[in-house]
């Protein structure tokens, strides 16, 4: 089974690239399941119902969010309606939507997707992501009703992401990091069989500052005034993510590789 995870989509450039290239990749790479992180898809901040619909139409099976999940007000009622859109599971239970779900491939295989938000350097004060993962995995295990388990860990600190990979190694198929918009060079299979990458990178214009036109971030760094406007960069986007081959017998990873498409950054 072939699974593709695409990192944070940033602005129109990233959206257009996903919509343009994902249908072709889905066919050429014989993808069984695709997860897209849409945390910066709408003008760089969150997602809207329409951006999610565009991703689903292009071939995404699930769209995940992150710390910007609440930025677009119209997404809140949509979260309650669209089960394929996930907010982090470790938000309070009273928050709209959910952070996990079991989804079926075209061939009928069941995939659990779990979305978590990190705590280190984050201001959201979420529940412990490690304990949250344990709670979900108590009732859903590889080979016991699901063919694969994918974890999108949206976190700032590389140490926290690496710790999550080690913590879940052998219990899930994939632990892939999102949020920092820079792909890390450590895509690998961990000792117990889980595919891992600290950060998948972004789907956006890399001639930028993490997907934004440089002027806004530079003004913030140079003046320390936090109100400088952040505008997504509009050049040609590169899709970055993680491609994983899953062993149908075990649900663990047979191979994985970082993706940069259509050109390396």
Lookup: tokens for 233: 């960069």
C-alpha distances in angstroms, 203 versus 35, 137, 179, 212, 241?
13, 29, 11, 12, 8
Find the catalytic residue in 68, 100, 115, 154.
68
pTM over 0.75: yes
68 is catalytic: yes
User: What is the model's pLDDT at position 187?
Assistant: 98
- Indicate if the pLDDT at residue 31 is higher than 90: yes
SS3 139: helix
Q: Which residues pair with 149 in a beta bridge?
A: 112
For residue 63, give every residue at least 6 positions away whose Cβ sits within 8 Å of its Cβ, in sequence order, or none. Answer: 35, 36, 37, 38, 47, 52, 55, 56, 84, 85, 86
Q: What is the share, in percent, of the chain residues with pLDDT greater than 90?
A: 93
Residue 96 pLDDT class (50, 70, 90 cuts)? very high
- For the chain, domains (ranges, CATH) are 2-261 (3.60.21.10)
Across the range 233-259, mean pLDDT stands at 97
Indicate the burial class of 249 (C-beta count within 10 angstroms; 0-12, 13-18, 19 or more): exposed
Render pLDDT for 72-90 as a digit per residue (tens, 0 to 9): 999 999 999 999 999 999 9
């Amino acid at each position: 089974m072939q699974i593709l995870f695409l990192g944070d989509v940033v602005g129109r450039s990233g959206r257009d690239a996903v919509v343009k290239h994902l249908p072709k990749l889905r066919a050429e790479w014989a993808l069984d399941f695709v997860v897209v992180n849409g945390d910066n898809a709408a003008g760089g901040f969150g997602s809207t119902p329409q951006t999610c619909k565009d991703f689903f139409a292009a071939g995404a099976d699930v769209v995940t969010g992150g710390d910007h999940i609440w930025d677009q007000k119209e997404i809140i009622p949509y979260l309650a309606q669209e089960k394929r859109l996930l907010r982090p599971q470790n938000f309070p239970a009273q928050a709209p939507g959910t952070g996990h779900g079991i989804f079926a491939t075209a061939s009928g295989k069941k995939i659990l997707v779990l979305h978590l938000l990190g705590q280190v350097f984050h201001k959201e004060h979420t529940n412990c992501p490690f304990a949250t993962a344990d709670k979900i995995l108590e009732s859903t295990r590889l080979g016991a009703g699901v063919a694969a388990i994918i974890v999108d860990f949206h976190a700032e600190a590389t140490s926290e992401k690496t710790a999550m990979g080690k913590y879940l190694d052998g219990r899930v198929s994939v632990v892939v990091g999102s949020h920092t918009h820079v792909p890390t060079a450590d895509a690998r299979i961990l000792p117990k069989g889980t595919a891992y990458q600290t950060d998948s990178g972004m789907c956006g214009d890399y001639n930028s500052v993490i997907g934004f036109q440089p002027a806004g971030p530079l003004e913030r760094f140079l003046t320390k005034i936090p109100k400088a406007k952040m505008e997504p960069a509009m050049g040609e986007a590169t899709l970055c993510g993680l491609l994983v081959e899953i062993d149908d017998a075990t649900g663990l990873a047979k191979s994985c590789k970082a993706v940069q498409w259509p050109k390396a950054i």
